[in-house]
Structure 1
Amino acid sequence: MALLAEAGPPVPPPADGPPRRRPVRRALKYVVAVGSVSAVATIGIVVGLNRLTGAGPVTERCTAVLDGSDWYLSPGQADNAALVVGTSVARGLPARAATIGLATALQESKLVNIDYGDRDSVGLFQQRPSQGWGTVGEIMDPVYSTNAFYDVLVEVEGYEDMAVTDAAQTVQRSGFPDAYAQHEMRSRAWASALTGNSPAALSCELAPVANADQIAPDAARDVVVGRLGRDLGLASATGAADPNRQDPASSTVTVDATPLTPDDPQRGAWATGQWAVATAQTTQAVEVHVADRVWLREEAAWVAAETRLSPGEVRITVDAAE
């Protein structure tokens, strides 16, 4: 992990319990597209063998695919990546900003919100209170620290055309200025998926939601809605139980992602949908429906859906206590 050297003050911001098995019935509702079979074969074998005994995946992990390469993060790292990229999208920044943000956080903290570091550095971006980044409490808030990073980045003239490591170093002033480059490809893959530029490119292998971890349906929906507002600024999300579902314990949050990318609502839907997959361990999401595709937690893959949603619409189904 590269640690900060003499990071200067930021540019002032602009004024502005065994696991519960899911019913087999879902296999009748969704069919796997032929083209998806080979892409998920390896994952299907590993996860499928575990499901024969009712266990979760051997290793929980999330994957972003770009140009045929798989780039992995742990579910905890993926959750923080969803915030870092989601914040950039909500602020209307280009995907390049998200790539720079992810590469920086990967180098500084391994995308983990740690409360220690070089000298007084803390948080996702290892920002230093003594250098004007804020108080320890503020910096340990990942929402604050992520916005503080972007507040400085957007003041760097021409950052969109700079090498990722140079842009990151201009903000961070690290003792290891070239270290950010090693994270560029992973960051590009995750930024492309979480900004909605690469549809159905992000998936997570997660264990089923344990009975002991389940909460009431209303509370489960509130978790999703709260995170949508925090990470993406989508306060218009609405939660409602789906009366057509056979399992009344599962509830669905319907999201209008159009405000996220008004000129391209479908990209906003994919940004929101893949954000929902990346945060699924926290929110207990088990299904995410975008366009004519649906991510199934039990399959660890995007498969064909029976129906196609309108552009900008996303449906996130969470597992909740009966």
Structure 2
Amino acid sequence: MPSRPPSAAVRRRRRQVRTGVMLAALVTVVTGGSVLAVNQLEDSEVLVRERCSATVGTDTFELSPTQAGNAALISGVAVARGLPARAASIAIATAIQESRLENIDYGDDAGPDSRGLFQQRPSQGWGTEEQIMSPLYATGAFYDALVRIPGYETLPITEAAQIVQRSAHPEAYADHEPEGRAFASALTGNSPAALDCTLHEPDGAGDPLAVSAAAEEVFGPLGGVVDATTLTLDVSGTSGWAVAQWAVANASTFSITSVSHSGLQWGRAEGGWTATTSEPGIVTVTVAGVTP
């Protein structure tokens, strides 16, 4: 006997079952895809979040590469002038409070004409706006004022910074003393291999001549030897570590891939400092080459 065609009710139930199965499968695909996308986003965020850290003792502090580059300049000028690391600590803590260690071109509550790393004001005799917007000039002007303070090396940061800056919020400088001290200790070379930067791949080839010129602008003549991708500097001791860690702090800017000094090497790809065969009195800076 030929079978009867399914009734309308049965056909509806079958369609509902098929629709439910399809929706469940779609939800699984979408949900799985969403989880995958979130995981990929989280991984990507970890990879692209560039940062530099200074570790001294058990304390670690982070800055962006731009901030770290400015901290390295501030510390490098102190080294070039023969100033103690305490001077760099005071200057970095002050710049964190005044500008977040960024070379800002607008005023704040310090005054509408305040500018630069230290929010110095042309109307208060710090120099022209163009001069103040030069981090090298602004840092030099800050140290010029700092060293005129008798016994500044032993003063609390709040007091030393306030005498220089004449801020409306002098107590705020002390809030940044720990990170100021950590970055100053690393970037003046007093804490070897204490600075590390986590960076993505270089955007393009680097120029060792540009690295040499920038380093000498901060530290003075270094007598570097340059080839296609490498800068070699004959500088040892505390100054050697100051220059080496200055290079790490500026690795993002100059497409630097590795820095070695005194038996240790920082590598951009893996981060951190590892043992190598570098000579004690030599700083070697390698930049990204031209991609074939």
TM over 0.5: yes
Report if the CA contact (8 A) 1:194-1:271 is conserved: yes
For 1:47-58, list aligned pairs within 5 A: 57-58=47-48
- 1:230 deviates by 1.1
2:205 pairs with 211, 214, 223, which one? 214
- 8 A Cα contact 2:209 2:231, kept in partner: no
- Structure 1 residue 266 corresponds to structure 2 residue 237: yes
Structure that is richer in helix per residue: 2
1:149 aligns with 2:127: no
Which letter does structure 2 place at the counterpart of 1:109?
Answer: S
What is the distance in 2 between the residues matched to 1:308 and 1:106?
Answer: 34
Q: Does 1:60 align with 2:50?
A: yes
For 1:119 and 1:310, locate their aligned partners in 2 and report how far apart those are by CA, in whole Å.
49
| Higher relative contact order (CA closer than 8 Å, sequence separation 6+) | 1
Answer whether contact 2:222 2:233 (CA < 8 A) is retained: no
CA RMSD, Structure 1 to Structure 2 (Å): 1.8
- Judge conservation of contact 2:263–2:280 (CA < 8 Å) in 1: no
**Contact (CA 8 Å) 2:197, 2:248: kept in 1 or not?**
yes
- Indicate the percent of aligned positions where both proteins have the same amino acid: 49
Q: Does 1:252 align with 2:242?
A: no
Q: Which residue of 1 aligns with 2:284?
A: 315
Structure 1 residues 237 and 56: CA distance shift in structure 2, 3 A: farther
AA in 2 matched with 1:316: V
Change (3 A) 1:297 1:55: farther
The structural deviation recorded for 1:266 is: 1.6
Is 1:133–1:148's contact at 8 Å kept on the other side of the alignment? Answer: yes
Distance 1:189 1:309 in 2: 26
Deviations 1:209-239 (A, max 9, x none): 12xx335xxxx01110111111211341221
Distance in 2 (CA, whole Å) between partners of 1:123 and 1:90 is 21
Deviation per CA, 1:63-93: give whole Å up to 9, x if none.
Answer: 0001211100000000101100000000000
Separation in 1, partners of 2:140, 2:196? 26
Contact 1:56–1:206 (Cα < 8 Å) also in 2: no
Contact 1:55 1:207 survives alignment (8 Å): no
Q: How far apart in 1 are the matches of 2:137 and 2:189?
A: 23
Match of 2:100 in 1: 110
Offset at residue 56 of structure 1 (A): 7.8
Q: Aligned equivalents of 1:158 and 1:68: distance in 2?
A: 29
Contact conserved, 1:123 with 1:145, CA < 8 A, in 2? yes
Q: What does 1:280-299 align with in structure 2 at a 5 Å threshold?
A: 280-299=251-270
- Three-state SS of the structure 2 residue aligned to 1:207 is coil
Given that residues 205 and 287 in structure 2 are in contact (C-alpha distance below 8 angstroms), is that contact kept between their aligned partners in structure 1?
no
Aligned to 2:198: 205
Q: What secondary structure sits across from 1:143 in the alignment?
A: helix
Query: TM-score, normalization: structure 1?
Result: 0.74
Q: Tell me which amino acid in the other structure corresponds to 2:286.
A: T
* Unaligned runs of at least 5 residues, structure 1: 1-48, 242-250, 258-264
Structure 1: 4+ residue segments shifted above 2 A? 53-56
Q: CA deviation at 1:54?
A: 9.7
Contact 2:89–2:180 (8 Å) recurs in 1: yes
**Offset of 1:55 from its aligned partner?**
9.4
Equivalent residue, structure 1, for 2:225 = 238
- Normalised by the length of structure 2, the TM-score is 0.81
Which amino acid letter does the alignment assign opposite residue 132 of structure 1?
Answer: G
Q: Does 2:31 align with 1:74?
A: no
Aligned partner of 1:162 in structure 2 is 155
Q: Distance in 2 between matches of 1:103 and 1:295?
A: 26
Q: Which of 72, 76, 80 in structure 2 is aligned with 1:90?
A: 80
Higher CA-based Rg: 2
